[in-house]
Structure 1
Amino acid sequence: MKNTGLILFSIVIAMSVYNPSIGQTTTEERFVQKADSILSLMTLEEKLGQLNLPAAGDFTTGQAASSNIAEKIKAGKVGGLFNIKTAEKIRDVQKVAVEESRLGIPLLFGMDVIHGYETVFPIPLGISSSWDMKLIEKSARIAAIEASADGINWTFSPMTDVSRDPRWGRVSEGNGEDPYLGARIAKAMIKGYQGDDLSLNNTIMACVKHFALYGAPEAGRDYHTVDMSRQKMFNEYFLPYKAAVEAGVGSVMTSFNDIDGIPASGNKWLMTEVLRNQWGFDGFVVTDYTAINEMIDHGLGDLQTVSAMALNAGVEMDMVGEGFLTTLEKSLKEGKVTEKQIENAARLILVAKFKLGLFDDPYRYTGAERAKKEVFTPENRKIAREIASQSIVLLKNEGSILPIQKKGTIALIGPLADNRENMTGTWSVAGKFEESVSLHDGLKNAVGDRAKIIYAKGANVVADSLLESRVSIFGKPTYRDNRPASVLIEEALEVAKNADVIVAAMGESAEMTGEASSMTNIELDEKQRELLKALLETGKPVVMVLFTGRPMALKWEDENMPVILNAWFAGSEAGDAIADVLFGDVNPSAKITATFPQNVGQVPIYYNHKNTGRPLPEGEWFQKFRSNYLDVSNDPLYPFGYGLSYTTFEYGDLKLGNTDLKGDQKLQVSVNLKNTGKYDGSEVVQLYIRDLVASITRPVKELKGFQKVPLKAGESKIITFEISTEDLKFYNYDLDFDWEPGEFEIMVGGNSRDVVKGKVNWVK
């Protein structure tokens, strides 16, 4: 039976809805009024409880009522939980909150639904390579449907951190190096998660992270310090977060790093001035895991001090650390925080619960029958396969070896060839690893009895067994073979000698990228490279399928391998999707969204860098007293936006509607695109702009538009973009957002390097 407290505040809520004195109000205002009605009944301890977000580590079905966290829930000391899965378990826990606490306030249930729930899509860096906003939104929509069917109503996604350093492990979780593309993807993901109505039981609240600048740690080392100018923040790193706010994201997560010397979780300029005052964010802010407590090691004071600092900065919810729960009452008595601040934080969390419909029906996400019908369905897996195939990037195809035919004998060799657990990549916490499709399975599924697939491992993922043990801690084994490397290679060669073509499945394991997986060596493991050398010496065509969560340094591979197909970690249906591309059932169209360096010494390397006062002349390799290296060119191995197809595309000359523009005129830009090959295919046409003279230094080019264009073999099409002065705006030295008159270079092409150009003059 529900307690009297719940009955009492239900009456108060009803009064707030029907009270004639309220008059005409917006939905948001009504939610605030309802929240205030509840706040008027709450003790200080219960208000602080709403700000507490522990992990659900000690819950199992049937034991919720007797667990440690359950006692806190009964006492009103918990606002939400995360990392608990299945509708049955969540219903069990929600029942404790609703029926056994004094006021019966329902809980939020969050999870890291990063790139799918049980149906796992490609890692975010991979899916961003599709440049297809409809597919990206669809992946988030399916993730929301599955997660909500299993009790989850809040996801800690999307991660929109711009990153230009492939040493950083979490580059795999973001959308690459470009803020414009990252902003487009952020909006698509939030639309997919939240839909148009959060009260529907198949939508979930999104949480954009990590605010802010988390993707730019010094030395590429996770959790490390970040230091940059405010111009760089606003012009190059803030845009995706801001886009998420504009898209109506329900919550924001703080980052671990410091900004201007103050950790994000205690940074009032960041959380209040920028996020709320400048951008108008009206949801709630939650810290990352123990981020408030970690400000102690940053050197900001004891737990009471940093907890008060976080609340004063504008943080509403404390993940795991319980600093709010255990210290804010004392800080209130000492005048270090105010009850108004505590109430405002609790109000925002209660409003979120109203938006999710939890007060109307606390069990709305816990119908077990829904999960049976809507999670990991054949239809969802079919879409995951399609999305994965659109995310796979063809980096090299010398001699048009791909696509291969479904006949003869195909040797499948490599440490990632028959490992379904690693196909989903990092942060796939709800995925069914054992039911993912390995490359071995995918090839067999594709060829049936038309071809013979023979297999050998050939090498371990990494030669160093200790390193391998550090990257296999999340239930994704690498199946290490402890025989000598020479024996593994000989075994592979024995298999390869009977083959017509060799498919070499190389790269990283799933957890070699992700959180706390930074690397200083981003080349292929030495034993994998030895295996590739041996396979090349057979004289047979070798197709390298690369599994990776980061841009790798592949200079040797690019110089020696005839084919490189970058599969990233493609998700539940990885094997079938890769096979679709290998055999030509899908023509690859993906383009990389992060620059691949020649070697780690070039890092950070990205396309939209600024010029120097001594730039290297275009087309030159080296000049003394110019900005370049002695030992390697400035060029990346593969530039941002790069990716090949089985067909070829030809760009005509750039056509500009006008070369002299004034004020709010719009510029029409067009180019003729022709499919000059023998296959139907799609090309991602990219528009870049350069501001040639400005009041502060500006990038050599910036992405400002793109279109994914399907063309049949031999077909031509005029591709048109429209540019307005909105596309020319930037934050100047005083952080005013405006455009400046002058000359602009307009560029269109299939990647950031290979473009056709034109110039315009634009005056106010």
Structure 2
Amino acid sequence: MEEKAAQLSGPSASELGPRLEAASEKGQDLRTALAGCLIDLAPDGMGHLGLGWTLCPDLDAMADFISTLQKVLAETSRIPIPALVHLEALNGAVIPGAPAYPTAVAQAATWNPALIRKMAELTRDHLLSAGVRHALSPVLDLARDPRWGRVHETFGEDPDLSAAMGVAFVRGLQGEDLRGGVAACAKHFLGYSVSQAGMNLAAVHLGRRTLREEYSRPFEAVIREAGIATVMNSYSEIDGVPVVADPDILTALLRDELGFDGAVVSDYGSIDHLLSRTRLVDGFPEGACLAIEAGLDIEFPDARGYAHLPELVRSGKLDVALLDRAARRCLELKERLGLLDDLFGVTVHPGWSAPVPDRDADRATSRAMAGQAAVLLTNNGALPLAPTTRRIAVIGGPATEVRIHYGGYSGVAAAELNTSVAELQTLIADLTAAGDIAADPPTAVGGEGDDPASAGLDDAMGMRLIPTPGFPTRFEEMAREAEPASRSVAQALQEALPDADVVVTAAGGPEGTSTEDADRAAEAAVQADVAVVVVGERAGWVGGITAGEGYDRQDLCLPGDQERLIQAAAATGTPVVTVVVSGRPLLLGRIAEHSAAVLWAPLLGPAAGEVIADIITGRTSPSGRLPVSFPASMGQIPVFHGARAGSGYDRLGGADAAGYIDGSARPLFCFGHGLTYTDFEYGDIELATAELQAGDVVELTVTITNTGDRDGEEVVQLYARDVLASTTRPARQLLAFARVAVAAGASRRVRMTAPINALALVDRTGRLVLEPGEVQLMIGASSSDIRCRTSARIMGALTEVPPHERFLVP
């Protein structure tokens, strides 16, 4: 039983790290050091290992570490089953030195699943080259409350857009055959992003129908359409029961209804939370019992709970069948990955050779993605810059940074955390040696005290995270070292406009904007033909962070009073182009009023500076579309396009019948919105057939004409509305979308298809059914910019729908 339980977890990086360091100081090589560690920490084998960000400084070191680990594990275990090593890979492998891509919300802003799949394929090659066979990505939570700090890790607010992006990501990461791929992990199941008041780890208040129809939809898509290998529970508690201890969520819904047959892994420290946070149990044995009974197969990052499983079975408190079930699922995953093909000849990649990563393709794909993700929110003719523009003021501290364009789960942010932890550990060691402090566990910079920035890091590293002010200059230097070709917006504009006078004023930023900063902005703007003001948030773990895991906000105005820069520049009469760098919606109403154009740069990664400069100068046209709604006020939150009929900002009774007494309920910028440098006209919808049966495909075409003098790309969006149903339906539901390039003056016929079963609902008996009746079909440039409409009718009787026939995936 101990060997079975050992397959369900493993030692954490925080357990291995100090032991390996001590062995190294004694002169032991890695192989000898690992052998000693495994005898103590994994005498019955090792199921899994999360390397964290401290054991391996780069991918090459990781490859050496994992190869040595697997060989030593084979030598020290009775049954030489390899460990399954996992890593984060939301926007590239999260390890310093690995190629980086735009973060997930930017990926969704491309509305281009094929590009997301290409990114995942390239990420897979890097992970495989190091021997990492399990990636804790993608995040499939729906981001409908921008106060929550992890919006940038999601594919946005819409279940169908998230499903399409998630399926593309998983197919790319896992490959055609999982033996040559990396197991993906859909997280966080379920409801994690809609916690009370937008606060990380807080309770979730959602009905079971909403959970089933909307929040579980992206998860079901990657299960049925991409065969995802693992699912991670959320930290949430729904209706008073933490998900990790809820069989209704982890078994009845996930497995029985959604059809999942893989392994369920815990978010880091989930069993710990049953003791420390939600207080359901008073000990790890009881917590482990609740979790495995609910359907949790694998505990991360260590075995604080599942180490007790054998004794629970022997004492009669746990059915051995549950231990066997979890062990079987874990071994089946390893078998699918090919890790059991040659138990006594273990290599990093049993049975095949690791691919050689293509760095040129990495850079090209990252840049293409960034170029398609930037969203032009407003434009009063300021962009692109006129050829006669000669004096340009570039204003704002973020204009001189490359670091600000990265998300929290990135190699750059990981390197920052490594550096901060190492520095603090050294400081504590020095103070302890001097007798100034007691030798307590180290504290890492960057979280929120009792509500840590990452409960996972809290558990995995044995540290409590606390906030630290300011943004260390060395972090910017580290980001530039990681991607030497990266350019800040200021640098890129200077290089793009060699004949112009580009003056840079690095005033203000997320850390704070003073009166002097505003005065400097005004002085620079008054002497210029145009002022480009770059403002935004900084996502990560340490050093002046305003977004990320545990970094939730009650006020979504620009942090650090950066709005003063825009107001000061605008007051001079010089046109202001505002670039907003953020991974979530912010309150931009006053900013839009003072700006001649507003460009949203949703954490575009290493190519951000060049892409933004290209759009401003007109070398390329913006083509991103919003995957999230931008609220007009804090009081509107949550605001999203898929609210049910009779609710939200678009009640069927009429526009703004839903308004407040002191303002409109409509968001400032709606889902799907995005401008470009040309105009498109839409012809009438041609519907293949207006009468449909359950299982049929809606097929229609529409002609798009580029009426401008520049080539451009349009994202054509198809929405549907169920006119009459037995339960309340969304005011609009995204059915299909297509990104199309249309040359100036040209027209293109765009064919769009979607399964009519996508409109299935959970009826009052809990069945997934398609009801007969009228369906309105709407095509437009956004959820609020509908250009043409038609209707179809679902014929026949009410029909129970096979779950796998209802997804819009490429």
- Pair in the same fold by TM > 0.5: yes
Question: Match of 2:339?
Answer: 358
Question: Match of 1:595?
Answer: 629
Q: Work out which of the residue numbers 505, 512, 516 in structure 1 matches 2:550.
A: 516
Gaps of 5+ in 1: 1-43, 464-483
Question: Match of 1:569?
Answer: 603
Q: Secondary structure at the match of 2:296?
A: coil
Question: Match of 2:396?
Answer: 414
Question: Match of 2:800?
Answer: none
Distance 1:693 1:89, change over 3 A: same
Question: Match of 2:791?
Answer: 759
Q: Work out which of the residue numbers 64, 67, 71 in structure 2 matches 1:88.
A: 64
Match for 2:76: what amino acid?
A: E
Match for 2:47: what amino acid?
A: G
Distance 1:165 1:602, change over 3 A: same
**How do 1:320-335 and structure 2 match up within 5 A?**
320-335=301-316
Is contact 1:616-1:628 (8 Å) kept? no
Q: Distance in 2 between matches of 1:123 and 1:108?
A: 25
Residue 215 (structure 1) aligned with residue 264 (structure 2): no
Q: Distance in 2 between matches of 1:315 and 1:442?
A: 50
Question: Match of 1:470?
Answer: none
Question: Match of 2:664?
Answer: 633
**How do 1:387-402 and structure 2 match up within 5 A?**
387-402=369-384
Is contact 1:265-1:310 (8 Å) kept? yes
Q: What is the TM-score with the length of structure 1 in the denominator?
A: 0.86
Match for 1:307: what amino acid?
A: A
Question: Match of 2:104?
Answer: 124
Question: Match of 2:9?
Answer: 52
Question: Match of 2:425?
Answer: none
Q: Distance in 2 between matches of 1:445 and 1:379?
A: 26
Is contact 1:687-1:704 (8 Å) kept? yes
Report how far residue 458 of structure 1 moved: 1.4
Report how far residue 87 of structure 1 moved: 1.0
Report how far residue 504 of structure 1 moved: 1.0
Question: Match of 2:160?
Answer: 180
Q: Secondary structure at the match of 1:318?
A: coil
Distance 1:615 1:188, change over 3 A: closer
Q: Distance in 2 between matches of 1:410 and 1:167?
A: 34
- Per-residue CA deviation, residues 602-629 of structure 1 (Å, 9 max, x unaligned), is 000011111228998779776xxx6431
Report how far residue 697 of structure 1 moved: 0.9
Counting aligned pairs with the same residue, the percent is: 31
Residue 157 (structure 1) aligned with residue 114 (structure 2): no
Distance 1:665 1:183, change over 3 A: closer
Residue 171 (structure 1) aligned with residue 151 (structure 2): yes
Number of residue pairs the alignment of both structures matches: 693
**How do 1:689-700 and structure 2 match up within 5 A?**
689-700=720-731
Is contact 2:645-2:652 (8 Å) kept? no
Q: Distance in 2 between matches of 1:219 and 1:365?
A: 45
Q: Distance in 2 between matches of 1:401 and 1:714?
A: 20
Residue 429 (structure 1) aligned with residue 386 (structure 2): no
Is contact 1:504-1:544 (8 Å) kept? yes
Report how far residue 322 of structure 1 moved: 2.0
Q: Distance in 1 between matches of 2:648 and 2:397?
A: 45
Q: Distance in 2 between matches of 1:505 and 1:325?
A: 49
Q: Distance in 1 between matches of 2:77 and 2:650?
A: 68
Is contact 2:489-2:613 (8 Å) kept? no
Q: Distance in 2 between matches of 1:258 and 1:583?
A: 49
Question: Match of 2:299?
Answer: 318
Is contact 2:383-2:616 (8 Å) kept? no
Across the aligned residues of Structure 1 and Structure 2, the Cα RMSD in angstroms comes to 2.6
Q: Distance in 1 between matches of 2:149 and 2:566?
A: 25
Q: Work out which of the residue numbers 252, 263, 270 in structure 2 matches 1:291.
A: 270
Is contact 2:649-2:666 (8 Å) kept? no
Q: Secondary structure at the match of 1:399?
A: coil
Q: Distance in 2 between matches of 1:712 and 1:154?
A: 43
Q: Distance in 2 between matches of 1:633 and 1:494?
A: 36
Q: Which moved more, 1:542-551 or 1:348-357?
A: 348-357
**How do 1:163-562 and structure 2 match up within 5 A?**
163-200=143-180, 203-246=181-224, 247-296=226-275, 297-302=277-282, 303-359=284-340, 360=342, 362-364=346-348, 374=357, 377-403=359-385, 405=387, 408-429=390-411, 433-434=479-480, 435-436=482-483, 437-440=486-489, 442-443=491-492, 446-447=495-496, 449-463=498-512, 485-511=514-540, 512-525=546-559, 527-562=561-596
Q: Secondary structure at the match of 1:76?
A: coil
**How do 1:635-654 and structure 2 match up within 5 A?**
635-654=666-685
- Per-residue CA deviation, residues 64-88 of structure 1 (Å, 9 max, x unaligned), is 6447853445412531111254212
Q: Distance in 1 between matches of 2:391 and 2:647?
A: 57
Report how far residue 406 of structure 1 moved: 9.4
Report how far residue 591 of structure 1 moved: 0.5
Distance 1:710 1:633, change over 3 A: same
Question: Match of 1:727?
Answer: 758
- Per-residue CA deviation, residues 178-209 of structure 1 (Å, 9 max, x unaligned), is 11111111110001111012222xx3111111
Is contact 1:406-1:451 (8 Å) kept? no
Q: Distance in 2 between matches of 1:55 and 1:409?
A: 55
Is contact 1:680-1:713 (8 Å) kept? yes
Gaps of 5+ in 2: 57-61, 414-477, 541-545, 797-810
Distance 1:724 1:105, change over 3 A: closer
Report how far residue 172 of structure 1 moved: 1.0
Q: Distance in 1 between matches of 2:404 and 2:350?
A: 30
Match for 2:5: what amino acid?
A: L
Q: Distance in 2 between matches of 1:613 and 1:641?
A: 20
Q: Distance in 1 between matches of 2:695 and 2:298?
A: 44
Question: Match of 2:458?
Answer: none
Question: Match of 2:459?
Answer: none
Question: Match of 1:112?
Answer: 88
Match for 1:81: what amino acid?
A: L
Question: Match of 2:438?
Answer: none
Q: Distance in 2 between matches of 1:637 and 1:390?
A: 22
Q: Distance in 2 between matches of 1:568 and 1:406?
A: 29
Distance 1:310 1:608, change over 3 A: same
Distance 1:621 1:135, change over 3 A: closer
Match for 2:714: what amino acid?
A: E
Q: Secondary structure at the match of 2:65?
A: helix
Match for 2:270: what amino acid?
A: A
Distance 1:722 1:187, change over 3 A: closer
Question: Match of 1:8?
Answer: none
Report how far residue 543 of structure 1 moved: 1.2
Report how far residue 763 of structure 1 moved: 2.4
Report how far residue 724 of structure 1 moved: 4.6
Distance 1:66 1:754, change over 3 A: same
Report how far residue 652 of structure 1 moved: 2.4
Distance 1:321 1:95, change over 3 A: closer
Distance 1:658 1:444, change over 3 A: closer
Report how far residue 545 of structure 1 moved: 0.9
Match for 1:399: what amino acid?
A: G
Q: Secondary structure at the match of 1:139?
A: helix
Q: Secondary structure at the match of 1:182?
A: helix
Report how far residue 276 of structure 1 moved: 2.1
Is contact 1:253-1:286 (8 Å) kept? yes
Distance 1:97 1:409, change over 3 A: farther
Distance 1:388 1:604, change over 3 A: same
Q: Distance in 2 between matches of 1:648 and 1:616?
A: 26
Question: Match of 1:38?
Answer: none
- Per-residue CA deviation, residues 44-79 of structure 1 (Å, 9 max, x unaligned), is 212111111443231568456447853445412531
Report how far residue 264 of structure 1 moved: 1.1
- Per-residue CA deviation, residues 654-707 of structure 1 (Å, 9 max, x unaligned), is 343444556666544332211111111111111111111111111111001111
Q: Distance in 2 between matches of 1:619 and 1:584?
A: 42
Report how far residue 497 of structure 1 moved: 4.3
Is contact 1:307-1:324 (8 Å) kept? yes
Q: What is the TM-score with the length of structure 2 in the denominator?
A: 0.81
Match for 2:719: what amino acid?
A: Y
